[in-house]
Structure 1
Amino acid sequence: MTLVEFVAGWISGAVGLVVGHPMDTVKVRLQTQTRYKGIVDCVVRMYAHERIPGFFKGMSFPVLSIAFSNSVVFGSYSNALDYLTQTQYGQCSKDNSSNLAAVFMAGCFSGATQVLVTAPSDLVKVRLQNQMRGSLGLGVGADKYRGPVHCVAVILKEEGPRGLFRGMGALALRDVPCYGLYFLPYELACKALTESGKQPGTFAVLMAGGIAGVITWACATPMDVVKARLQMSGAGGPVYRGVLHCISVSLQQEGVQVFFKGLLLNSLRAFPVNAVTFLCYEHLMRAMTSLP
């Protein structure tokens, strides 16, 4: 089952990443830079200076790492839920409904286990997404990072191994509770849209995955802003001493609304990305586990 979950996790995660990456790039720019007046201004200026490839900056590294990350998320959630309730994760419409508290706890556990995997790749993604041509970036010229591998090499040289985990505390504060919320509404919505004793259909999985994504990212956005700013700290962005210092400085300089930057984009991106991710995962798991 480990290999099956790994393959299903890689494919479903990669598909979801490709669908949502352009909006994620715009979201990161809005969260870490003050030059943009809003979503439309950011999109127009990005397209004018960087064309379509600019919206896909930083995507290659997450695609490569999403295999392990997604398999850790779904695998750890499945095993934790099995341990807590003696019911395995598979089809969300089983009659023996999982205890909601156990679903939340298993989701939190899955978020905690994947933070170490996600932290370096997410840092590289954010650094590359913020890189703009010439003097347009936050002190990061076009030749600062030539790609994900070069970005890792530069970070190791300038900041040491610890530099790859910059912002990991904020990432943990975002992902641990939010992965609990991620699986909880998915289970509830999927069961509500599926007849008892039957496997969830395409519509049920799409809607449940989309709803789970929107709820999760609505709750995750404030800490997502802090995480992105810490990841850019010292690399063209303001220097922060930690999570609390970042929150304090951001609040003083931009007001409470700063923590909701990218909320609309996160919500718009979350529905299709997570709908597609869960749909791919469910169907791949059914197909591969039914093979002789």
Structure 2
Amino acid sequence: MGKRVLCTSCINYRLVYKLDKDMEILLIVAGFFKGMSFPLASIAVYSSVTFGVFSNTKRFISQQRYGDSNHAPAFSDLLAASMVAGVVSVGIGSPVDLIKIRLQMQTQTFAKANINLKHRVIGFPAYRGPIHCVSSILRQEGLAGMYRGAGAMLLRDVPGYCLYFIPYAFLCEWITPEGAISPTPSSVWMAGGIAGAISWGTATPMDVVKSRLQADGVYLNKYKGVIDCISQSYHSEGLKVFVRGITVNAVRGFPMSAAMFLGYELSRKALRGEQAATNP
């Protein structure tokens, strides 16, 4: 009987240990997706508005300059449309990024932060979810708090979208076979992916600054602004801090942008087909 009890205890211990390890692995995996519910819910609106602003601005410029909204845009036209899209994207994207980063920052406990906790409780996260995060920021920092880091995001997105839409337009034209009426899906996919890798790779330095400014405020206010954040980051970690994550950004930018541009072009073709069918 004694041996039997001992074996049962060992089996139970192993089962409990295995369950604990499995739960630990699940928590680690779930940590990679922390704060993603709000961006996933808003990414469709964000992308639609950004691509729509770029397309409509480009058409408007062509109409004003050439008298034809479908006229092939010049480099300056693409530049202007990209800059407008970048400015508009900040208005929508800044609060989304802020909430995502605030929720992701809760992987660090208050005890480890080693700061004045004020009214927060040790061992509990600052925010219970996206809605609570928004209400807490509005209550504590006002509407301006929702746009913390918007200046850095503006410096990231305006040149970032110029290096997004312009390379795409030229690469798509270059890859598309001669005589083709419109770019093929493979041309769109390749051009969009390369443009995304270029854009996200070059945007990394300001993305680092933007992320630090938006994370600032979960526990304490460390930075006074964009210049102060750049200065403190440089003095404490050197120039290498501004290229931290550049490989991940570039690799991530390829498939994400390839899919977005492909969806954009296919949607345009579908809408044109419907318009042609209803207005012969």
Where do 5+ consecutive residues of structure 1 fail to align?
1-46, 90-95
Change (3 A) 1:239 1:276: same
Structure of greater Rg:
2
Which residue number corresponds to residue 199 of structure 1? 182
CA RMSD of superposed structures (Å): 2.3
Which residue number corresponds to residue 198 of structure 2? 215
Change (3 A) 1:75 1:64: same
> Are residue 102 (structure 1) and residue 84 (structure 2) matched?
no
> Which is further off, 187-196 or 78-87?
78-87
> Are residue 132 (structure 1) and residue 107 (structure 2) matched?
yes
In the TM superposition, what whole-angstrom CA distance separates every residue of 1:199-240 from its partner, at most 9, and x where no partner exists?
211211111011110111121100000000000112136610
> Are residue 278 (structure 1) and residue 261 (structure 2) matched?
yes
Looking at structure 1, the residues matched to 170 and 157 of structure 2 have their Cα atoms a distance apart, in angstroms, of: 20
In the TM superposition, what whole-angstrom CA distance separates every residue of 1:33-57 from its partner, at most 9, and x where no partner exists?
xxxxxxxxxxxxxx85833222122
Secondary structure at the aligned position of 2:229 is classed as: helix
Which residue number corresponds to residue 60 of structure 1? 37
Change (3 A) 1:204 1:115: same
Looking at structure 1, the residues matched to 39 and 272 of structure 2 have their Cα atoms a distance apart, in angstroms, of: 26
> Are residue 241 (structure 1) and residue 224 (structure 2) matched?
yes
Looking at structure 2, the residues matched to 201 and 58 of structure 1 have their Cα atoms a distance apart, in angstroms, of: 36
Equivalent pair of 1:104/1:180 in contact (CA under 8 Å): yes
Which residue number corresponds to residue 174 of structure 1? 156
Change (3 A) 1:215 1:88: farther
Give the Å deviation of 1:110. 0.6
Which residue number corresponds to residue 29 of structure 1? none
Secondary structure at the aligned position of 2:106 is classed as: coil
Looking at structure 1, the residues matched to 123 and 170 of structure 2 have their Cα atoms a distance apart, in angstroms, of: 47
Change (3 A) 1:238 1:162: closer
Change (3 A) 1:100 1:75: same
Overall identity of the aligned pairs, in %: 44
Where do 5+ consecutive residues of structure 2 fail to align?
1-23, 115-121
Change (3 A) 1:280 1:138: farther
Change (3 A) 1:165 1:199: same
- How many correspondences in the alignment? 240
> Are residue 290 (structure 1) and residue 273 (structure 2) matched?
yes
> Are residue 79 (structure 1) and residue 56 (structure 2) matched?
yes
TM-score of the aligned structures, taking structure 2 as reference length: 0.79
> Are residue 152 (structure 1) and residue 134 (structure 2) matched?
yes
User: 2:132 is aligned with what amino acid?
Assistant: H
Looking at structure 2, the residues matched to 137 and 115 of structure 1 have their Cα atoms a distance apart, in angstroms, of: 32
Secondary structure at the aligned position of 2:32 is classed as: helix
Which residue number corresponds to residue 92 of structure 2? 117
In the TM superposition, what whole-angstrom CA distance separates every residue of 1:256-278 from its partner, at most 9, and x where no partner exists?
11101110110110001101111
Change (3 A) 1:288 1:228: same
Change (3 A) 1:55 1:200: same
Equivalent pair of 1:229/1:237 in contact (CA under 8 Å): no
TM-score of the aligned structures, taking structure 1 as reference length: 0.75
Which residue number corresponds to residue 253 of structure 1? 236
Change (3 A) 1:133 1:230: closer
Moved segments of 4+, more than 3 Å: 86-89, 133-142
Of 28, 35, 52, 1:51 maps to: 28
